[in-house]
Amino acid sequence: MPDHEAAPGPSPLGVAMIGYAFMGKAHSNAWRNVASYFDVPAFERRVLVGRDPAGAAAAAAQYGWAESATDWRQVIARDDIDIVDICAPGWLHAEIAVAALAAGKHVLVEKPLANTLAEAEAMVQAAQAALERGVQSMVGYTYRRVPALALAKKLIGEGRLGTIRQVRASYLQDWLADEQAPMTWRLRKESAGSGALGDIASHAVDQVQFLLADTVTDVSGRLHTFTTERPGPAGPEPVTVDDAAWATLSLAGGAVASIEVSRVALGKKNSLTIEVYGSRGALHFDLETINELQFLDGTVPVQEQGFTRIVVTEPEHPYIGAWWPQGHVLGWEHAFTHQARDFLAAIGAGTPPSPSFEDGLAVQRILAAVEESAAAKSSLIQLTPSARTTQTITEGA
């Protein structure tokens, strides 16, 4: 027998998740599966936090968390918690994240980073201070981890599209197309911050900057609310956020991007569509066909040109090698597993993960600029009754 025992390995990282609804369910699935497919630091799903004791306990049991709690402040003070995953509504993001980082916990927070610019800036300051102590933070723009979009970024970065000229990004859903759809926290500005703008335009804006490795320099935008009142718990209640948004973005590298998002686009369930047009090629992606990327090589003779359908399921494609044999498709939920993998890998290596809180703040600034442009109506063109002339309406007119 050996005359000494091997030194114990590092203790598993303790994970606490705050929020257990839609995003909590998606994140729980990722935490449950990530270690089965990827080599990541050891961790344990220790506690699920929610405001309703019975609901939190039921969700913890269903999703595989060791216990549940209702007070997030007590949870982040625990010595056995190393990671805090924030899936609560946006109005809670800043308070929880700043407190968790100050307590020395690594923080993953769902997008958008916060409901206001001031909150987002406070989160960035807290993250920068925490990083000096080796504490990591990341915002959950999960679609960066969709293999087809990761492949798109690789092709663009390799110059396969040449100089990027135009990008079209739309994110269309129809869950609010019915005017009698009930009121939710997502339709109240005080809890959601904004409507389709913050909820899904944030994804589109992040993808534009992520794919092109570029930054937005100027913005024009418009917001619209089609259904201004919805059934609430105590009767009709005003909707105080937008149903749809449009924006035009200029990028530092010279490209121009158009953004269109809606939660009332009947027939579109979850369609994030991205088109990128360059001097040597083009790409097309639609989240509703998540395993496919369309690529056009503009360098071949014109009589041979056309979009090629790439089924992104080969072991050589981003993330795919950990999963199934080629041709066996992945789903929407796998991007969350990839996100957990990348976050844990960054913590293990002591390197800042991406996207950072600074990246989240950059998106927030663009969304705020869209909202400001829409409120000012600084470049609205209105047709006269004769429809033969136009009138430019400027701020203050």
pLDDT in tens, 283-312: 999 999 999 999 999 999 999 999 999 999
Q: Which CATH number fits domain 13-142: 3.20.20.70, 3.20.19.10, 3.10.180.10, 3.40.50.720?
A: 3.40.50.720
Domain boundaries, the chain: 13-142, 147-289+291-330
Q: Which of 168, 171, 177, 203 is nearest to 267 (CA)?
A: 177
Q: Which of 381, 378, 379 is nearest to 389 (CA)?
A: 381
Instruction: Look over the chain and give the mean of its residue pLDDT values, rounded to a whole number.
Output: 93
DSSP structure string for 307-366: -EEEE--STTSTTGGGSPSTT----TTHHHHHHHHHHHHHHHHT---SS-HHHHHHHHHH
| C-alpha R_g of the chain | 23
Q: Which of 83, 125, 151 is nearest to 343 (CA)?
A: 83
Report the DSSP beta bridge partners of residue 107: 84, 137
Using CA of residue 50, residue 54, residue 60, residue 62, what is the dihedral sign? negative
Cα gap 178→264, rounded to integer Å? 8
Q: What is the pLDDT of residues 14-56, one digit of tens each?
A: 999 999 999 999 999 999 999 999 999 999 999 999 999 999 9
- Rounded to the nearest 10 degrees, the angle between the axes of helix 117-131 and helix 357-376 is 170
Residue the block writes with tokens 């197309």: 177
Report the DSSP beta bridge partners of residue 166: 256, 277
Q: What is the pLDDT of residues 47-95, one digit of tens each?
A: 999 999 999 999 999 999 999 999 999 999 999 999 999 999 999 999 9
What number is the average pLDDT over the span 177-183?
96
Asked whether the beta carbons of 86 and 93 are under 8 A apart, the reply is: yes
Asked whether the beta carbons of 112 and 367 are under 8 A apart, the reply is: yes
Q: How many CB atoms lie within 10 A of CB 376?
A: 14
Specify the pLDDT at position 379. Answer: 59
DSSP structure string for 235-255: EEEE--S-SEEEEEEEETTS-
- State how far the alpha carbon of 281 is from the alpha carbons of 187, 192, 293, 299, in Å: 40, 39, 13, 7
Q: Which fold has domain 147-289+291-330?
A: Dihydrodipicolinate Reductase; domain 2 (3.30.360)
Predicted structure pTM score:
0.92
Judged by DSSP in three states, 397 sits in coil
Whether 1 shows a pLDDT value over 50: the answer reads no
Alpha helices in the chain (DSSP H): 22-37, 53-63, 72-76, 93-102, 117-131, 147-157, 189-192, 196, 202-212, 334-349, 357-376
What is the percent of the chain where pLDDT is above 90?
Answer: 91
Joined tokens for residue 271: 């369609």
Q: Which residues of 290-327 are buried (b: 16+ CB within 10 A; e: fewer)?
A: bbbbbbbbeeeeeeeeeeeebebbeeebbbbeebeeee
Whether 385 shows a pLDDT value over 80: the answer reads no
What's the pLDDT band for 5 if we cut at 50, 70, 90?
low
Whether 386 shows a pLDDT value over 70: the answer reads no
Q: What is the pLDDT of residues 130-179, one digit of tens each?
A: 999 999 999 999 999 999 999 999 999 999 999 999 999 999 999 999 99
Whether 391 shows a pLDDT value over 50: the answer reads no
- Find the range with the poorest average confidence among 6-10, 184-188, 285-289: 6-10
Which residues, including other chains, have CB under 8 Å from residue 185's CB and lie 6 or more apart?
A: 89, 191, 192
Whether 388 shows a pLDDT value over 50: the answer reads no
